Amino acid sequence: MARLFGTDGIRGVANVDLKPTLAYALGRATAHELLRGGGALVVGQDTRRSGGMFVTAIAAGATSLGADVHLAGTLPTPALAFLAGSGDFGAGIMVSASHNPAEDNGLKVLDARGMKLDDDREDALEALIWRSEELGGPRNAGIGRVCDAPDLLERYRSARLGLAGTIRTDLRIVLDCANGAGGIAAPEILAATGATVEVIYNQPDGVNINVECGATAPAALAREVVARRADLGFALDGDADRLVVVDRRGRVVDGDQLIGLIALDRLRRGALRNGIVVVTVLSNGGLEAAVGAAGGQLVRTPVGDKYILEGMLVNDANLGGEKSGHVIVLDHGSSGDGLVTGLELLGVLDRANRAVNELAAEIPLFPQEQRAVRVRHKDQWEGDPVLRRAIAEAKVRLGSGGRILVRPSGTEPVLRVMVEGPDAETVRELADGIGTLAGERLH
């Protein structure tokens, strides 16, 4: 049986692969595993129509084991992480599939620190899910209570407004909220810096989250930035834990360059703890070269923001991220937060008094290509001798200056292929070839 938890919780097509019965079992398992020592459960959701169904099921499961459940309503994932780690709760569950298509949903479990669970804790929780009905439950007087608590969002909003108040800018920003949860707070918080914020895609209807907008489809934002002659564009994803940036010419700023310019600014100010930036194995070698040349160090982890956070804690670092725009600034929270990333960037631009494209150009990247191949058997690629031989031959062609990474996605039924090397044409050819072969072999 495939593992329930991927790199970002449990995900699937809502009411098809991911059913409310599983959410109910997760509520019971979470109450048993994480709340035995006391404390309530805080639950939030993004703007998907299926969210209410899953929230109700989680609450039913947790209260059936005696846990009180506080329903925070629609809010960004980083806001739920902020609340879970506030000291008032024993755990949190966020109902969101983040950047995934609107028909998907997901269940992310956070501990009392607001952090995702490590693999061993997830395995223990998963074992409890499958036998959740064996956990028993109290009679009426011991059943937990459900509390509607939409005002909890104000705690997060207040903290981010405080951060925004330390930054001053007069830039014109187009903000794409992806018809997601970020639209509830992001416009006000960004405007608190003095920026002029023009908002697009902030009319969620339950089915339009991430649809041709947001961080996964920044072309729409790019067109608006150019048309409105704005200085900058910010695109959140559906739960606002990541940010994609567009410059004034409508060009997307590479996620590794975004991490890099924040890191270099912090190095200059002595604000990069231990001089370390934590990234995944997918981050570009050019970022490593730029940070190293400035006196810093890059530490790599497996793909997934929970592994980045683990790497940050182990190395006592305060900055880490993925090239997708998922950036963690530990000074302000334990979760990737698109708003914090945007505020960090605005601070960098203010201090440098330069445009984002100029700063990004100081971090030249090596040619790199990524392919996401939709397959039925994503976990079987290592057992295919033809595919393994093709990858080995490609590595020989790239030489010592190149890298190839092949891995199954932790959130989607796809195999991800990354090729990096000194020659752009060769890199593109090899990425296409491996991607096509994988599609044929693992269909």
Residues recognised as catalytic: 98
180 touches 239 (CB < 8 A): yes
CB atoms within 10 A of CB 145: 12
CB atoms within 10 A of CB 268: 14
Phi, psi dihedrals of residue 71, rounded to the nearest 5°:
-95, 110
Alpha helix (H) residue ranges in 150-218 = 153-164, 186-191
C-alpha–C-alpha distance, residues 357 and 148, integer Å: 44
328 touches 310 (CB < 8 A): no
Tell me how far the alpha carbon of residue 373 is from its chain's centroid.
21
**Residue 201 CA neighbour count, 13 Å, CB half:** 31
**Three-state SS at 196:** strand
Edge-to-edge, what's the strand order for the sheet holding 104-110? Answer: 10-13, 104-110, 89-95, 40-45, 69-74, 146-148
C-alpha–C-alpha distance, residues 115 and 123, integer Å: 16
**Three-state SS at 276:** strand
